[in-house]
Chain A
Amino acid sequence: GAGVSQSPRYKVAKRGQDVALRCDPISGHVSLFWYQQALGQGPEFLTYFQNEAQLDKSGLPSDRFFAERPEGSVSTLKIQRTQQEDSAVYLCASSLEGRVAFFGQGTRLTVV
């Protein structure tokens, strides 16, 4: 596709449930980022991949959050044992190395 694609667009999870969010970056983009955006706030960095290597995971809020990009293309952000404070929009972005990042439409996660 022409842009960054994320699925699902919306996810409602019961507290304690595990969720998996998918990101399909722009073809050929080496860098992939995950951000978390709470209501009324700017996006907050979670983690960064260069190809399949996770080079920075300093923004992951707890060990319940895990991200992977095994073949250097599609990435999955997994949240285990979801809590209400995990409710947010999860944004994926991709870029050519050192260039401008383009964002997907995001996944809105609501934990009830």
Chain B
Amino acid sequence: QKEVEQNSGPLSVPEGAIASLNCTYSDRGSQSFFWYRQYSGKSPELIMSIYSNGDKEDGRFTAQLNKASQYVSLLIRDSQPSDSATYLCAVNIFGNEKLTFGTGTRLTIIP
């Protein structure tokens, strides 16, 4: 079992709809959770960080964390074509600075 798992997609969502991206992790010592967006040929760009159970909203983006279920998700409201990218889930384990990434979910927003 991979430490961080994501559905690789592709996930296609109509413009204006809600895109839902999911991630599960295996290490219960995980304490910090991040969503990075990566356009093709570009470097990962931080979208959201979340550290405690519940929801965290920032503009059109909402991150949700459920530590009991070892599950973190990203919702993108009012999806735009510019949201088309690969979304990487990353986890940081307590006492360890490094990030462990999932393989990423490729999201396509259909105009």
**Partner-B contacts on A (CB < 8 A):** 31, 33, 35, 40-45, 48, 50, 55-56, 59, 91, 93, 95, 97-98, 100-106
Scoring B98, B103, B104 by chain A CB atoms within 10 A of each residue's CB, the highest score goes to B98
A33 B101 Cβ-Cβ under 8 A: no
Tell me how many residue pairs across A and B have CB atoms closer than 8 Å: 53
B97 A98 Cβ-Cβ under 8 A: yes
Q: How far is the CA of A112 from the CA of B45 in the complex (A)?
A: 30
Q: Does B43 contact A (CB under 8 A)?
A: yes
B88 A42 Cβ-Cβ under 8 A: yes
A42 B103 Cβ-Cβ under 8 A: yes
Q: How far is the CA of A74 from the CA of B43 in the complex (A)?
A: 19
A100 B44 Cβ-Cβ under 8 A: no
Q: How far is the CA of A48 from the CA of B4 in the complex (A)?
A: 20
**Residues of chain B contacted by A55 (CB below 8 angstroms):** 97
**Residues of chain B contacted by A59 (CB below 8 angstroms):** 98
Q: How far is the CB of B66 from chain A (nearest CB, A)?
A: 21
A44 B97 Cβ-Cβ under 8 A: no
Given contacts A42-B102, A45-B99, is CB(A102)–CB(B46) below 8 Å? Answer: yes
Q: How far is the CA of A100 from the CA of B46 in the complex (A)?
A: 8
Given contacts A42-B88, A43-B88, is CB(A104)–CB(B43) below 8 Å? Answer: yes
Which partner residue on chain B sits nearest A98 by CB separation?
B97
**Residues of chain A contacted by B88 (CB below 8 angstroms):** 42-43
Q: How far is the CA of A46 from the CA of B100 in the complex (A)?
A: 11
Our pick among B8, B96, B101 for the contact of A43 (Cβ within 8 Å) is B101
Beyond contacts A45-B98, A95-B97, A101-B46: 10 other A-B pairs, Cβ-Cβ < 8 A, are A33-B97, A33-B98, A35-B99, A42-B90, A43-B88, A45-B99, A50-B97, A59-B98, A97-B97, A103-B44
**Residues of chain A contacted by B4 (CB below 8 angstroms):** 42
Q: How far is the CA of A104 from the CA of B45 in the complex (A)?
A: 9
Q: How far is the CA of A35 from the CA of B98 in the complex (A)?
A: 10
Q: How far is the CA of A31 from the CA of B4 in the complex (A)?
A: 23
Q: How far is the CA of A41 from the CA of B100 in the complex (A)?
A: 12
